Amino acid sequence: MLAKPARPCNYPRCANYSTDSTGYCSAHQSHYVPSIRTKDQRPSSSRRGYDRHWQTIRRRVLIAYRIPPEHWHRYDIHHEPAYNPAIEPDHLKYKLTPLLHADHSRETARQGGGSQSLLPSRVNRSEVSDTHTGKSEVRGWL
């Protein structure tokens, strides 16, 4: 069987090569820190308000935005403002927009749980429509 090719050491400005799975040469092995995954401390998704009723709403939003069913697994539904069941548990009272998972994660992190508009500041207002939700959205955003 072929041996794994040596790669440059992960330590900054190290000229050595390593075949180790950590990516560090023998001189810098002590700098390797394994990643430690922490257990998700949040309650279950259904206890946070994402139950069977939510799945029906999610399906309706994806259909309304004409996303093909074979791509539904790629999308998360973004709440505007951020979903807070303590204030308003009814999902239908929020503006719901499908976003690709990475975009949704980025937007949620950017907002920090707050509510800011999804519209970029440089959007030409002629591109805005009220077709599905009755609220503003950018055509072709998806």
Residue 140 domain-assigned? no
**pLDDT average, residue stretch 11-17:** 95
Q: How many domains does the chain have?
A: 1
Query: For the residues of 69-104, what is the DSSP string, one character each?
Result: GGGGGGEEEEEES---TTT---GGGSEEEEEEHHHH
Residue 112 domain-assigned? yes
Residue 12 domain-assigned? no
Residue 11 domain-assigned? no
Instruction: Give tens-digit pLDDT for 53-98.
Output: 999 999 999 999 999 999 999 999 999 888 888 888 899 999 999 9
Residue 107 domain-assigned? yes
Query: Residue 2: exposed, middle, or buried by beta-carbon count in 10 A (0-12, 13-18, 19+)?
Result: exposed
Residue 79 domain-assigned? yes
Enclosing domain of residue 92 = 52-118
Instruction: Give tens-digit pLDDT for 116-139.
Output: 333 333 333 333 333 444 443 433
